[in-house]
Structure 1
Amino acid sequence: MITKAPQPSLTERMNNLWELDRTSAKPLYKQIADELEQKIAYGEFPAGSVLPSERKLADQLGVNRSTVVLAYSELRSLGILESRPGSGTRVSVTKWGVTPKHTPNWHRYAEGGSFLPSPPFLRRIREALELDPSMIDFAGGELAAELSPLEELHAIMSEKWPMMYLGYDNPQGYEPLRDTLVSFLREYRGIHTAASSILITSGSQQSLYLITQCLLSPGDAVAIEDPSYCYSLPMFQSAGLRLFRLPVDEQGIHPDDIYELYHKHRIKMIFLNPNFQNPTGALLSPERRERLLHIAGELGLPIVEDDPFSMTAYDGKPAPSLKSADRAGSVLYIGSFSKMAASGLRVGWMVAPHSIVKRLSDARQQMDFGLSVVPQQVAAQFLNSRYFLPHIDRLRSRLRHKRNLTIAALERELPGMIRWRHPEGGLHLWCTIAPEVNDGKLLEACIQRGMVFVPGSVYGSASGHVRFTYGRANTEDIPEGISRFAAALRSILN
């Protein structure tokens, strides 16, 4: 008589499930979720099976319970798992009860495609903020709510809502907003243009996306600053572009570096953030601006000027835009409402030759039939209102105060251990740590203490650099956030 060997229980199979790769860029919760999905799809964990509790599985795998919570939550959102009070977490009967082997391998699709995921450090920061809303946030690129003109925007919406248009709009954007921007750009940025040469976008990032997807081709070479927030945007690599560096010092890039990149790599476009550069806060000097425009005109190279921070100049005297001195028509100018008013409204603009505006508005129309017209109407009303200039004055004053608070906290907590560039506008403080430390270890140590920042390597810099966004952190949290950072840094160095 042949006796069948007993089949291992689900718990036993979970005990021997897999080894997590702690060196992988993929977050641990994603590794757990993907492995469980694969095992369920192949029938190793049948429909209706009860999975271990979050705490028990966390103990088995040697991870935090919050990591398993995220993994289970992702699988529940896909309908793969279901939870009922008192009965734990089960493999969904509805989804997996019939021919599970024919279910698409969604993991493979999620990992494929041409659009690359965000850098691992940024995904880790988002994960930490989602898990702990009380985390002190020095990482986000947007304004803190305390800096936004919420009451003023509410007043505008309350007054104008009955008259707001809610249908489809012109593919180039809401015409009254473009007319308003003609005056705004002339008065505050020295740019003389027409409404027909303005494209409204959902912000700087969409403007850059349209440029990389529609005006360049896979394999094209472009020049970007080093360090630069462009390195944190996978859209450049997703578009198949080759990126070449223009090192930034206290006065911005060295324009003559462009010659070498042009002759060696045939760069086709230059991407710059000349006013309070992200992440360094550098301001491109007048001499270098003049030289840059001369070289671009000589070589026939377009410049993409991203100018989100100029209105935050703490002395109330924004540096002129590159576009204002552009006599050869070399500059595509990008601006944004989000860094001077409210990130959530998602309104930006691009100034470009009319043919480029038509090309990009057609492409955007194919993607989303144009932007929501409501935030465009609010932006137009706000820029024309009595609220705008007082808000900008308050914004400059508050950002200057938050910068000073951040620097004072660093001087108090880390004397002699950290250096920074002193920004005169913008939202960010760029720091260098001595001695150099591992970015990943420092970030994890900070997360464990309840604060996040962006490691310099996200922006293409070497380890040992950090960006603090004091414009994102709440004012009352700044001293405590820097104290937590200092404790984390000392724990790594010791």
Structure 2
Amino acid sequence: MFTTDWKPNKSSSVPLHKQITDYIKEKISNGEWTIGYRLPPQRTLAKEFEVNRSTVVTAYDELIAEGLIEGKSGSGTRVVNNTWNLLATNPPPDWNSYVKVGNHKPNLPTNQEINQAEFIPGIIRLGTGELSPNLIPSTMMKEIFHQLSYKEISYGYEEPKGLLPLREQISNYLNTIGISASPSSILIVSGALQALQLISVGLLHRGSTVLTEKPSYLHSLNVFQSAGMRLTGIPLDKEGIQANLIQQYKKQQKAALLYTIPSFHNPTGTLMTVERRKQLLDNCQQEQLPLIEDDVYRELWFDEHSPKPIKAFDKHGLVLYLGSLSKSLSPGLRIGWIVGPEPVVEHLADIKMQTDYGSSSLSQWAAVEWFSSGLYSTHLNDVREQLKTRRDFTLDILNKYFSDIAVWEKPIGGFYIWLRLLPTLSMRKLFEVALSEGILLNPGNVYDNQAEQYLRISYSFASLPNIEDGLKRLSKIVKTITK
């Protein structure tokens, strides 16, 4: 999806097509649109610039005539030259070719569209998996930073594993949920996503297979695939990942490790039972299959505490445990942690130092203050209540507008409702039509290419009026498409 802050000035004496031509020339000459760059389709550019398509056609024709761009049937219009190249003997590098051969794969196309559309003014984000700005404790956050201004804190780089006072606070916190971990076995990371990236490059061989739930948030990322890994999904039921299939899948796929989100799973919202957690750990121990436990949603329970983490039952150092403040407090702090055997944590810390030389020291000190002051516990109580209210509101709206066209389960925590649409339809068409009407969806096939009839509905981000408006209009779109 192409977006830009620039628009042609319709009150200017300079013709619109000339303004567009000059804009594109500037992009090319500045090196922003390099040789090989694929220009947006004419219709897309016309819509973005709020002009007739014929105006864009005229601009493209002039650029083609000047030798800057070239249009080929079936492959679109691409930059083939730049203004400096027309004057120089040696052409500049084709950066597009470098992009194509880079190790890290680009995001999935739908994910790229979602990431860009999230910043369209007024868009209703029905699938966004983060706290609403109204749920982020901005007043408390200001108080935290105010308190820090009176304290002696460091602003330089921290030691490889992260700020010791923060690791001590996290060690104390982990003890309250059944995990015994000394500060030396904890690594501070910039969110759980960085933890996955460190694991992918630091602990796995190219060609390794990673087992995970089917569907799974992991399928929406290319972090493991970019490191040469393959993902294989194991089916879920109401108790969580089907642990009895571990031996079969490990043998067939020669799996290197298993990744799971046991608490309020992303995207299904499933809460793994205590019995299933123990069974999963037992089976992984029998198969000598290391396990990554991504537990970033665990504190977002509504009526009953989440079961103890799988890591709490781990006596053999089999589990790498991931936690974060991004889902429960603020994504902007970028504070998460990895808990595991010390040699593994030290190795990952060494890799982290090679990549970013440590997470923000200021964010780490703020996190220390959140834990030590007791404000984090206070905030969690408040955010649970608000999320529960949002869940109940969303379920009421779904019952009102989707009872005849979809089915779903009632989540008991987290952010998500895994909605299965009953009419058979094109998810791509639904995504595009909804987006054209200002509604952004997270289609199920982002998390499992076979989940064509599913949507991840989030009650955590959009305002309640927007949730109602968005779902009401979405139900009409579904019914229109399937007529």
State how far apart, in whole Å, the 1-side matches of 2:218 and 2:56 are.
36
Residue 112 (1) aligns with residue 101 (2): yes
Q: Deviations over 1:280-328 (max 9, x none)?
A: 0111122211211111111211110000111010015122100011122
AA in 2 matched with 1:179: E
Question: Which position in structure 1 is the counterpart of 2:171?
Answer: 182
State how far apart, in whole Å, the 2-side matches of 1:148 and 1:413 are.
29
After TM superposition, give the deviation of residue 262 of structure 1 in Å: 1.6
Q: Deviations over 1:155-198 (max 9, x none)?
A: 010121243310111110011000000110111x2101100000
Question: Which position in structure 2 is the counterpart of 1:484?
Answer: 473
AA in 2 matched with 1:226: K
- Report matched runs for 1:90-109 at 5 Å: 98-99=87-88, 102-109=91-98
Question: Which position in structure 1 is the counterpart of 2:374?
Answer: 386
Residue 224 (1) aligns with residue 212 (2): yes
After TM superposition, give the deviation of residue 94 of structure 1 in Å: 7.5
2:274–2:308 contact (8 Å) kept in structure 1:
no
Residue 364 (1) aligns with residue 363 (2): no
Question: Which position in structure 1 is the counterpart of 2:11?
Answer: none
AA in 1 matched with 2:193: Q
Identity %: 32
- Report matched runs for 1:52-451 at 5 Å: 54-55=49-50, 58-59=53-54, 98-99=87-88, 102-130=91-119, 132-162=120-150, 163-187=152-176, 189-451=177-439
- Per the normalisation by structure 1, the TM-score is 0.81
TM-aligned CA distance change 1:92 to 1:55, over 3 Å:
farther
After TM superposition, give the deviation of residue 484 of structure 1 in Å: 2.4
Aligned pair count reads 430
After TM superposition, give the deviation of residue 435 of structure 1 in Å: 1.4
Secondary structure of the structure 1 residue equivalent to 2:157: coil
Secondary structure of the structure 2 residue equivalent to 1:468: strand
Moved over 3 A (4+): 34-41, 53-62, 91-98
State how far apart, in whole Å, the 1-side matches of 2:184 and 2:92 are.
50
After TM superposition, give the deviation of residue 368 of structure 1 in Å: 1.0
1:221–1:243 contact (8 Å) kept in structure 2:
yes
The structure where helix makes up a greater share of residues is 1
1:198–1:351 contact (8 Å) kept in structure 2:
yes
Uncovered stretches (5+) of structure 2, i.e. residues with no partner: 1-16, 22-26, 39-45, 64-68, 70-79
State how far apart, in whole Å, the 2-side matches of 1:441 and 1:222 are.
31
Q: Deviations over 1:412-459 (max 9, x none)?
A: 112221111211111111110001221111111111111112000000
After TM superposition, give the deviation of residue 334 of structure 1 in Å: 0.3
1:149–1:341 contact (8 Å) kept in structure 2:
yes
TM-aligned CA distance change 1:372 to 1:262, over 3 Å:
same
After TM superposition, give the deviation of residue 471 of structure 1 in Å: 0.8
State how far apart, in whole Å, the 2-side matches of 1:183 and 1:222 are.
31
TM-aligned CA distance change 1:311 to 1:54, over 3 Å:
closer
Secondary structure of the structure 2 residue equivalent to 1:256: helix
Question: Which position in structure 1 is the counterpart of 2:482?
Answer: 493
1:316–1:393 contact (8 Å) kept in structure 2:
no
State how far apart, in whole Å, the 1-side matches of 2:54 and 2:478 are.
28
After TM superposition, give the deviation of residue 109 of structure 1 in Å: 2.0
After TM superposition, give the deviation of residue 111 of structure 1 in Å: 2.6
Question: Which position in structure 1 is the counterpart of 2:3?
Answer: none
After TM superposition, give the deviation of residue 107 of structure 1 in Å: 2.0
State how far apart, in whole Å, the 2-side matches of 1:430 and 1:40 are.
37
TM-aligned CA distance change 1:490 to 1:217, over 3 Å:
same
AA in 1 matched with 2:283: I
State how far apart, in whole Å, the 2-side matches of 1:40 and 1:252 are.
44
AA in 2 matched with 1:174: L
2:290–2:318 contact (8 Å) kept in structure 1:
yes
1:450–1:484 contact (8 Å) kept in structure 2:
no
After TM superposition, give the deviation of residue 58 of structure 1 in Å: 3.6
Secondary structure of the structure 2 residue equivalent to 1:486: helix
Q: Deviations over 1:336-369 (max 9, x none)?
A: 0111100100000010100001100000101111
TM-aligned CA distance change 1:371 to 1:58, over 3 Å:
farther
TM-aligned CA distance change 1:40 to 1:234, over 3 Å:
closer
State how far apart, in whole Å, the 2-side matches of 1:100 and 1:137 are.
50
- Report matched runs for 1:454-469 at 5 Å: 454-460=442-448, 461-469=450-458
2:162–2:187 contact (8 Å) kept in structure 1:
yes
State how far apart, in whole Å, the 2-side matches of 1:133 and 1:455 are.
21
Q: Deviations over 1:39-72 (max 9, x none)?
A: 899xxxxxxxxx9x9455744779xxxxx9xxx9
TM-aligned CA distance change 1:252 to 1:40, over 3 Å:
closer
Secondary structure of the structure 1 residue equivalent to 2:235: strand
TM-aligned CA distance change 1:40 to 1:168, over 3 Å:
closer
- Per the normalisation by structure 2, the TM-score is 0.83
After TM superposition, give the deviation of residue 120 of structure 1 in Å: 1.0
TM-aligned CA distance change 1:281 to 1:93, over 3 Å:
closer
2:445–2:451 contact (8 Å) kept in structure 1:
yes
After TM superposition, give the deviation of residue 370 of structure 1 in Å: 1.0
State how far apart, in whole Å, the 2-side matches of 1:413 and 1:168 are.
53
Question: Which position in structure 1 is the counterpart of 2:4?
Answer: none
2:407–2:420 contact (8 Å) kept in structure 1:
yes
State how far apart, in whole Å, the 1-side matches of 2:374 and 2:314 are.
31
Secondary structure of the structure 1 residue equivalent to 2:321: strand
1:177–1:377 contact (8 Å) kept in structure 2:
yes
